Structure 1
């Protein structure tokens, strides 16, 4: 079977991770990478795949900087089956017509609105509805985590409603020198915050409200949830629902993982590339059950959580894997995902 030919347009926080993940897939070929940068950000991609200028001006600047590039974005998209667009917010929307004119499928990221593609994607929830489509939008890091965690309880028939508070990182670590939030917390200007309605573009049946704020830190997000169940439940029932779900993993304060930075340090110690955590990390020993209510908190690695979803979106749009389970099995195995970071149990969706 021929491999799916993939282009990555935008080699930033998400794009570089998607490019590396594509290279790990046995059924995909990374044909090229497009960007507008001429500095270390794109220079680090040399040797992975041919590099292209995302615009004519960018191609000229890259050549002037002494870079050996293969052409422009137009040249690249004429040679692929699908483009993963990881360019900054609202830039991708401006690229859509180019992809359509070239007759290639495309995956956008959560910075774009649901309306840009008419379909929002989280693999475990709605893979099948993306099969064969022209395009989809992989939802944001926080929204992905919401669908994974609440979806696990929903699929187990346990979830009635959810109310959550999100403490978001202020900026990405590599941009922290450009300015950020210091000595304050900035509430999002409306309730519900956008993550709840965004999750409902994937799972409309979810009854949830989110409240969000930005905190004075640069690594990862932190969620706090009050969940009403469909019945009185035991803690073991909740744990079993999460154990059965893909792409969530347990961490424990009793293991010394007492703060966001300790989990990131663990990812580095485990040899994760760039310290990435593709799973949602749920504090197992903080899950609390009182009658029909459940309280929990978890951590979201905003730089990497959407990478496996993006790989699955490629397979869904191209039809190279017939269902979510077969695609997720390949993706999770190549990335080395687990259900418990200190007691390894690789996820193998049925």
Structure 2
């Protein structure tokens, strides 16, 4: 079965999801919907996407500026099996009734509340519980990283509890001209910050507390974790648990990857589309274990990390693939997800 997919919202996440859907052998992208008439929508049309107007007002505005309009959002919903809603925060929840009325399954993003769908999704943790559902919510970029990393350690029986500090980017790079945080750091007003409780919508037994602050940069997020283990363990045991999980890749200070921007530059050098990083990048040579405590730091590329999860969520809702590991393997192979970014080190030859 080829899954017919529509994307509602052609922004930071939507355009990446659209590209990923089009790359999947078992999916057919039937179009993208939006309300904008600017360069973003015109780019979508130029790339060969069918462009649909999300509202009657948008339909009029698009036609007035010469955007080739394939129809309305209703027309798109009449053609698809699944819609991925990547519209702005709190807009998506208002679209739920339209999706239900059309009999279309819907994947939402982490800006919406867990209550909107009653189910939150990270493929490696709870794929099977989404199979056949009408809706799910792919959790936010930071929450996705928490579930991937802490979930891997929990699955290995190593994690008792986790306490983390998140240094968040101020805004998306493409929005930085609209204003943002300059020359300061803005702590979130409550502890725990929302990411910890959100992770428990996927892993209910996870003992996690997060604190967060926004900093004056736009290139991804940075997490710092103090982990209480279930028992004294070696550093290699912790690393092995992370190696066993999908979508976690190791980077090293010793390779010159010493800051967020260096990893972003590496993704560009690797030829990643838009310089995207779908993996959680864990600094291997920073990770430290002392008895039953572990300390680690990692990088979250907020613009792309949820894309593979969204692809898996599409398969889960439609039930075309019921095994999570199989869907993850297909998605990761097509996208080019890695466990290591750099070639294996070669031992120096004797002189």
- TM-score in terms of structure 2 length: 0.97
Aligned counterpart, 1:280: 280
Q: Per-residue displacement from partner, 1:85-121 (whole Å, max 9, x unpaired)?
A: 0000000000000000000000000000000000000
Aligned counterpart, 1:317: 317
Find the aligned partners of 1:272 and 1:302 in 2 and give their Cα distance: 15
Q: Where in structure 2 are the equivalents of 1:207-226 lying within 5 Å?
A: 207-226=207-226
- TM-score in terms of structure 1 length: 0.97
SS in 1 for 2:228: strand
Aligned counterpart, 1:11: 10
Matched, 1:44 2:43: yes
Offset at 1:190?
0.2
Q: Where in structure 2 are the equivalents of 1:172-211 lying within 5 Å?
A: 172-211=172-211
Offset at 1:67?
1.0
SS in 2 for 1:70: strand
Aligned counterpart, 1:56: 56
Find the aligned partners of 2:100 and 2:177 in 1 and give their Cα distance: 38
Offset at 1:343?
3.1
Aligned counterpart, 2:111: 111
Find the aligned partners of 1:138 and 1:42 in 2 and give their Cα distance: 24
Find the aligned partners of 1:157 and 1:92 in 2 and give their Cα distance: 37
Matched, 1:335 2:311: no
Aligned-residue Cα RMSD (Å) equals 0.7
Aligned counterpart, 2:347: none
SS in 2 for 1:45: helix
Q: Where in structure 2 are the equivalents of 1:1-350 lying within 5 Å?
A: 2-46=1-45, 47-343=47-343
Aligned counterpart, 1:347: none
Find the aligned partners of 1:69 and 1:294 in 2 and give their Cα distance: 54
Offset at 1:49?
2.0
Find the aligned partners of 2:181 and 2:136 in 1 and give their Cα distance: 33
Offset at 1:44?
1.0
Aligned residues: 343
SS in 2 for 1:145: helix
Q: Per-residue displacement from partner, 1:319-348 (whole Å, max 9, x unpaired)?
A: 01111111001100000001111037xxxx
Find the aligned partners of 2:198 and 2:103 in 1 and give their Cα distance: 28
SS in 1 for 2:36: coil
Find the aligned partners of 1:165 and 1:66 in 2 and give their Cα distance: 48
SS in 1 for 2:285: helix
Q: Per-residue displacement from partner, 1:193-232 (whole Å, max 9, x unpaired)?
A: 0000000000001000000000000110000000010100
Offset at 1:292?
0.2
Aligned counterpart, 1:348: none
Segments of structure 1 that go 5 or more residues without pairing to the other structure are 345-350
Q: Per-residue displacement from partner, 1:148-173 (whole Å, max 9, x unpaired)?
A: 00011011110000000000000000
